[in-house]
Amino acid sequence: MLAGARRAVVFTGSGVSAESGVPTFRGAGGLWREYRAEDLATPGAFARNPRLVWEWYAWRRDLVMRCAPNAAHLALARWMAASEAVTLITQNVDDLHERACEQGGAAVPPTRLIRLHGSLFEVRCTGCGWSGGYRGPISAESEVTLPQCDRCGGLLRPGVVWFGEELPEDALNRAIAVAGSSEACLVVGTSGAVYPAAGVVHAAAAAGAAIVVVDPGETAFDGIAAVKLSGRAAEVLPGILPL
Ligand code: OAD
């Protein structure tokens, strides 16, 4: 199914990074101190306590920086380098797909790697709206040490989509369009619980694409999958991608 598709999309969630050591959202290890992601990743949480939210993001950035792409990221990067027919759409805010592509020596154009939920390594100004990449240190010692905008001095916030916020319109539209003209959709490591991102898979299914799910647990897509492979991404993907 994957080899025969003239256009294919890959839709990934936090499970694809689990074997790199990044905790999934709803699985064990998804807690930081006593907080759940749903309690910290909201505009209200940031308004109430920006220091706490930045501290959490600083911890997650450090964690991801110490992790490396696993065999699943690397197999997907090889497939993308081998075939221009493949577009990867991720809900993840880590940078492990990009790093896998770089390690493979193939610069994948941004049009073929669509991020729906932003990135841990981007920031946005709460004052003037400027946004860009940021990999520098973060000190959440006090409100005045938090990252500030070079342009207007406003407070910077993480460049990720929080609960209750809109997804970047351009990225979502491109994702739905490419999924809606695909012949195969490989879904890896996502429970499918979060919309509108999960709508990407339904757009592919509505277009007649074969849905292939790789996940050791139950997912919301199991009922529409042509094939469900109940296994871990890093074990399954290297064996099934048409390379
Ligand atoms: P979830 O925690 O909901 O789902 C993770 C999925 O990964 C589950 O289905 C697990 O069974 C599966 N999984 C665990 N280990 C795996 C492995 N080794 N290989 C493959 N799969 C594995 O996380 P997401 O579906 O990513 O949104 O969550 C979607 C969105 O919800 C996130 O992007 C985030 C969150 O709210 C935002 O931050 C906006």
Give one DSSP letter per residue of 225-241, joined into a string. Answer: -SEEE-S-HHHHHHHHS
Interior angle at CA 219, CA 221 and CA 228, nearest 5? 65
Report the residue among 10, 20, 22, 26 best suited for mutation to probe ligand 1: largest number of ligand atoms under 8 A from its CB. 26
Name the residue type at position 223. G
CB of 10 shorter than 6 A to ligand 1: no
CB of 24 shorter than 6 A to ligand 1: yes
CA dihedral 106, 110, 116, 122 (to 10 degrees): 90
Tell how far the Cα of 21 is from the centroid of ligand 1, in angstroms: 13
**Residues assigned a catalytic role:** 117
Q: How far is CA 58 from the centre of its chain?
A: 17
CB of 70 shorter than 6 A to ligand 1: no
User: Which pLDDT does position 49 carry in this prediction?
Assistant: 96
Q: How many CA atoms lie within 13 A of 100 on its CB side?
A: 25
User: Which pLDDT does position 24 carry in this prediction?
Assistant: 86
**Pick from 81, 97, 122: nearest CA to 11:** 97
Q: Are 86 and 113 in contact (CB under 8 A)?
A: no
Measured from the Cβ of residue 56, the count of other Cβ atoms closer than 10 Å reads 20
User: Which pLDDT does position 161 carry in this prediction?
Assistant: 97
CB of 119 shorter than 6 A to ligand 1: no
Q: Are 174 and 111 in contact (CB under 8 A)?
A: yes
User: Which pLDDT does position 157 carry in this prediction?
Assistant: 98
User: Which pLDDT does position 26 carry in this prediction?
Assistant: 78
pLDDT tens readout for residues 69-109: 999 999 999 999 999 999 999 999 999 999 999 998 777 77
Report the residue among 194, 228, 236 best suited for mutation to probe ligand 1: largest number of ligand atoms under 8 A from its CB. 194
User: Which pLDDT does position 33 carry in this prediction?
Assistant: 82
What kind and span of H or E run contains 80? helix 71-82
Tell how far the Cα of 26 is from the centroid of ligand 1, in angstroms: 7
Q: What is the pLDDT along the chain (243 residues), one digit of tens a residue?
A: 999 999 999 999 999 999 999 988 777 777 788 888 888 999 999 999 999 999 999 999 999 999 999 999 999 999 999 999 999 999 999 999 999 999 987 777 778 999 999 999 999 999 999 999 999 999 999 989 999 999 999 999 999 999 999 999 999 999 999 999 999 999 999 999 999 999 999 999 999 999 999 999 999 999 999 999 999 999 999 999 998
What DSSP designation does 103 have? H
Quick one: which atom of ligand 1 is closest to the CA of 92? 33
Report the residue among 10, 12, 14 best suited for mutation to probe ligand 1: largest number of ligand atoms under 8 A from its CB. 14
Distance CA 54, CA 77 (A): 31
Tell how far the Cα of 2 is from the centroid of ligand 1, in angstroms: 22
Full-model pTM: 0.96
Which phi and psi (to 5°) does residue 169 adopt?
Answer: -60, -45
CB of 98 shorter than 6 A to ligand 1: no
Quick one: which atom of ligand 1 is closest to the CA of 24? 2
CB of 19 shorter than 6 A to ligand 1: yes
Q: Are 67 and 96 in contact (CB under 8 A)?
A: yes
